[in-house]
Structure 1
Amino acid sequence: MSGVGAERTLEIANRVEKFVRDVVVPYEQDPRRDYHDCPTDELVIEMREKARAAGVLTPHILPDGSHLSQRETAIVLQRTGLSPLGPLACNTAAPDEGNMYLLGKVGSADIQQRFLKPLVEGRARSAFFMTEPASEDGAGSDPSMMKTTCKPDGNHWVIDGRKAFITGAEGAKVGIVMAKSDEGACMFLVDLPDPAIRIERVPNTIDSSMPGGHATVRIDNLRVPADQMLGNAGEGFKYAQIRLAPARLSHCMRWWGACQRANEIATDYANRRQAFGKHLVDHEGVGFMLAENLIDLKQAELMIDWCAGVLDTGAMGTVESSMAKVAVSEALMRIADRCVQVMGGSGVTSDTIVEQVFREIRAFRIYDGPTEVHKWSLAKKIKRDWKAANSH
């Protein structure tokens, strides 16, 4: 980046970082958590009002509605991730950030006014209803297995099925629901809550940064007006692909920021704590772990920037985002693990965010496609490319 765009981006990013470090970090010890240890909506609303006052709410979307480039978004979202609460406070968290991106790209004027506007303003949360229960052989990492159905009925569509691991469904006001019609996959916008969408359970999960948890949901006879379908019947997977790569990458951006902060905490600990006659950082085993963290952080940062650059050309970036998701999530897992190890007993307590970052990154290795699924997809491409190169 260079010129006016770079200056604008750095100005936004610096304001975001100051806000997260000065205002959001103290909230990390705030007791307002739900029964799954996730931040309550009351806490989120309070932080967002402060972000609004500071001019850092939804900072990746400019006042005229335009979106920062992916490379610019990376610089800003990495700063929001410096606290697990930062993306919530600044309105850059999943799934809202990905949903805003999708609706900004393909939503009609009416859909943008009704569903996108309250998300951008930080006055509503959203949920993306795609994943289904594994116990029913529903769609998980393979969306072609989708069992939820939608059928036309006059000027409405009727949706039936079950969904699982729907992040933020409890308390969301906007829903994007994927279902299968005779023409193929379809995507609908719905107002929440709706009596036809019933939350069956919210399981306890290893992570605890997302309000509403990851719900299992029953959809019974949900009637949706036809004009609340994104595009046409059968185009659902096409729209899911538009959301897919940027959403994978923004996860990498946010959690990179969290690992940057965890490494700061571990570094400070190692430089203050003494054992066996010297500071921990002077013990090769500890100092080398921190050195490896710096290497992994830089490699992950460069991978994010590379993939963002590909997306900024207008390419779908499916392959590149798979590579970035694997490389970054695995690197961040190593970083988080080393931070815990450097801090010893202190690293497994909630006295700092290091323990939470470790848990969140462990979940991130699964969300938006497990490492193994991405590698399998890449391996299939390798085989296809080889066949194409060797066919005569």
Structure 2
Amino acid sequence: MSDTVYIQPIGLAASPQSEEGDCIRLAGGMVYAHRFVVLVRRDGEIVERWRATRDTIDDVMARLPDELAADAEAQWTNLTLAHPPLELGGRTVRLDQPQVMGILNVTPDSFSDGGQFLDNPEAGRQHAAAMLEAGASLVDIGGESTRPGAPATWEGDEISRVVPAVEYCAGMGAAISIDTRRAAVMEAALDAGAHVVNDVSGLRFDPRSAELCAARGCPVVLMHAPGKGEDPHADGNYANVVLDVFDWLARARDRAVSTGISRAKIVLDPGIGFGKSLAENLALINALPMFHALGQPLLLGASRKRMIGALSKEAPVDARLGGSIALSVAGMNAGVQLVRVHDVAETVQARDVWRGLRDAALTDFSMLPED
């Protein structure tokens, strides 16, 4: 019989004074959490659930058995952990507010842009420049489609696709992420000027990946996908999708650290759309604040995904801007540090308005004047 513990923020606040200080600043960002539940899970089933606030959490923690106390204390500390900025070449990406990662696909079969940047490097260069000018903090370059049913890509083809894109983005001074599962592609991209490895397999697909990232000292994004082999969408069976993904990401984080990757360079991604149903994707997005308890910055990649079409009369990929913005803002409201999007200018505008509202909320009009 194995027990695990989880601390989930369930009540978010616009400002600390709105709860008279009875809240925490979530992950050092611009979101505050006031109410929480502490869950105990045994053999896949939730067996205890206690509600708490910042002022009563110690009383709830005291109810936990000794074998869960240390993990609960670590999660509570992690929920308030402020993350240092990512130093990416000549660029500094702060993690105390949401940052926008722009997508540049150089594939023949991307679900969103149909390969328009693969054989036209000038178009890719212009697109990257436009994203950076619009306010993208990073450009995420991918040379393999990981949509459901996509054919496997030979690593030689993937390298020939991404390296020119990395080079022209590096020439612009961009902070660059390489979206790949293959160590050879990671290495070629890093050599060409990339700074971050974004692996949808969580460094499981290629056994050399973790060692390579540790040796290069680069930040890594570990994404949850249930499939370990060629199909990342395979084997998506969950007893409780939120808690199962939470546990999976904790193990991925610990595996990465065991290979020599610094915890300060690990970002976690719950993998929206990868081997998950609509209901499971919605559950994960609603539970995003809990994932701060893992102690790492979070990335949300939901732009133009199938779930948006499913919720909007089967809107095609090129008509999912509104849903993409809604999901990005949901991530910001949950304290997510990075949102990965196709529509950079619109998302940056939404982020800036969101940030203005957050700043304004720190001056609470309803407070009584001090004597």
Q: Which TM-score band (shorter chain)?
A: under 0.3
What is the TM-score with the length of structure 2 in the denominator? 0.25
Structure with more of its chain in helix, by fraction: 1
What is the TM-score with the length of structure 1 in the denominator? 0.24
